Structure 1
Amino acid sequence: MAFEQIKLPYAEDALEPYIDAQTMNLHYIKHHAGYTAKLNDAVKGTALEGMSIEDIFKNVSKHPAVVRNNGGGFYNHNLYWQIMSPKGGELKGNVVEAIKKKWGNFDAFKAEFSQAAAGVFGSGWAWLIVKDGELLITQTPNQDNPLMDVASVQGVPVLGIDVWEHAYYLKYQNRRPEYIEAFYNVINWEKVNELYELAIR
């Protein structure tokens, strides 16, 4: 069964003014669709065909770069669209309580997560992950993610921010910190909490 790009859970202009419709259109229709198509092409007719993306990630270091790069792009964006919402921003769920317990308060978490996102050199992602039941903030380059065996810190991602230039450059140009700040207004904490609850089981 081929890997499928998820249906965008909202209209392309639904995250305005924080993420503009033109960026959403290009990001979803061109970039994410491209990763998905190239991943399917790369695994077709190989031993990887029919495997889950999570199982592929477990040994991604043994697979061709085209699988690692496009597999990451496919998975990361499927997650990214879901952890944003036009009704986002409201803190709720056990994950928020866990964040406050770990960092002392939400603002301290936000400062560290924002610094991680701003500090990614070139293209990549910043993540909130669950590792051995604990929350951690980490980064990955390019389209890598913490489920991959190549990640410096492995764990289950529950929140991720895309800091490739294609995610923000049309609206924010080189002002990555402004995009990161805007992102907090659209985080779907219900979805983040759902992912957190699954990860700590």
Structure 2
Amino acid sequence: MIKLPPLPYAYEALEPVVSSETLHVHHDKHHAKYVDVANQLISEKGLEGKSLEEIIAHAEAAGERKLFNNAAQAWNHAFFWESMTPDYRAPDAELARLIEEAFGDLANLREKFVETGANHFASGWAWLVVENGKLAVTDTHDAGTHATSDSVPLLVCDVWEHAYYIDYRQDRKTFLERWFDEVANWSFAAEQLAAARGQGAVWRFDDAA
């Protein structure tokens, strides 16, 4: 069975970019529901004792869509909380170097990330990942995840409406801009980058519990 991980900061810590009300609804209702449904299915299918990453991989390979959707959403949300911080710091030297190599500079990465998330049709996620040693921006639909892919996720922003509608209504683009500029957790991204290079372990769901 999996547990709903606590937020790594206070509900009001990300204001005004993300309100306390949004985090209460998003974490305590939406995320909790994914965890509850995933646990019900895990029990029904006899998958207790497996890691969430193993369960996601099993569900994807077996075509068990409901289990995949809820397990992957439980993972994505936990990674999303880690992708934000009330103590914003710019990317460190090595991460900044890779950003420059892949995008030219941080401003170009911002433009690419915001454009990808804002133009994503319907629900999903905007990611910054490491693919074959290089940074890339990707998006996934619905519960699509990088939890079990060959690429290593560094950051993710939720572009489902429940992530921003209370604070921004239909203005997803402004949400993404403020998210990138003010709460993106580049320190966490640097840790993930180091892990992708074999310097430590990549983040796993159990790390958040």
Shorter-chain TM-score above 0.5? yes
Name the residue aligned to 1:193. Answer: 190
Whole-angstrom CA distance in 2 between matches of 1:37 and 1:93: 41
- Indicate whether 1:113 and 2:113 are aligned: yes
Whole-angstrom CA distance in 2 between matches of 1:171 and 1:66: 29
Whole-angstrom CA distance in 2 between matches of 1:170 and 1:45: 35
How far apart are residue 160 of structure 1 and its match? 0.4
Structure 1 vs Structure 2: percent identity of aligned residues? 33
Name the residue aligned to 2:42. Answer: 43
Name the residue aligned to 2:164. Answer: 168
Name the residue aligned to 1:135. Answer: 135
Residue by residue over 1:132-167, the C-alpha shift from the partner in whole angstroms, topping out at 9 and shown as x without a partner, is 222111110111112356xxxx52211100000000
Find runs of 4+ consecutive structure 1 residues off by over 4 angstroms: none
Q: Is the 8 A contact 1:124 1:140 kept in 2?
A: yes
The count of residues paired between Structure 1 and Structure 2 equals 196
Whole-angstrom CA distance in 2 between matches of 1:96 and 1:80: 21
Q: Tell me, which stretches of 5 or more residues in structure 2 are unaligned?
A: 199-209
Whole-angstrom CA distance in 1 between matches of 2:104 and 2:115: 17
Whole-angstrom CA distance in 2 between matches of 1:39 and 1:138: 25
Whole-angstrom CA distance in 2 between matches of 1:68 and 1:93: 37
Q: Is the 8 A contact 2:72 2:147 kept in 1?
A: no
Q: Is the 8 A contact 2:91 2:190 kept in 1?
A: no
Q: 1:22 to 1:101 in 2, by over 3 A?
A: same
Name the residue aligned to 1:32. Answer: 31
Whole-angstrom CA distance in 1 between matches of 2:62 and 2:73: 18
From 160, 178, 181, the equivalent of 1:182 is 178
Counterpart secondary structure, 1:9: coil
**What is the TM-score of this pair, normalised by structure 1?**
0.91
Q: 1:157 to 1:88 in 2, by over 3 A?
A: same
Name the residue aligned to 1:80. Answer: 80
Counterpart secondary structure, 1:44: helix
Whole-angstrom CA distance in 2 between matches of 1:10 and 1:66: 30
Counterpart secondary structure, 2:48: coil
Whole-angstrom CA distance in 2 between matches of 1:181 and 1:195: 22
Normalized per residue, which structure has more helix?
2
Tell me how large the CA RMSD over aligned residues is: 1.6
Name the residue aligned to 1:18. Answer: 17
Whole-angstrom CA distance in 2 between matches of 1:147 and 1:55: 10
Q: Tell me, which stretches of 5 or more residues in structure 1 are unaligned?
A: none
Q: 1:63 to 1:50 in 2, by over 3 A?
A: farther
**What is the TM-score of this pair, normalised by structure 2?**
0.87
Name the residue aligned to 2:153. Answer: 157
Whole-angstrom CA distance in 2 between matches of 1:73 and 1:102: 28
Whole-angstrom CA distance in 2 between matches of 1:124 and 1:45: 27
Counterpart secondary structure, 2:183: coil
Counterpart secondary structure, 2:176: helix
Residue by residue over 1:86-139, the C-alpha shift from the partner in whole angstroms, topping out at 9 and shown as x without a partner, is 112533252232112211111111111111111111000011111222211111
Whole-angstrom CA distance in 2 between matches of 1:130 and 1:51: 26
Residue by residue over 1:46-86, the C-alpha shift from the partner in whole angstroms, topping out at 9 and shown as x without a partner, is 25322222223334141421211111111011111111111
Whole-angstrom CA distance in 1 between matches of 2:65 and 2:164: 25
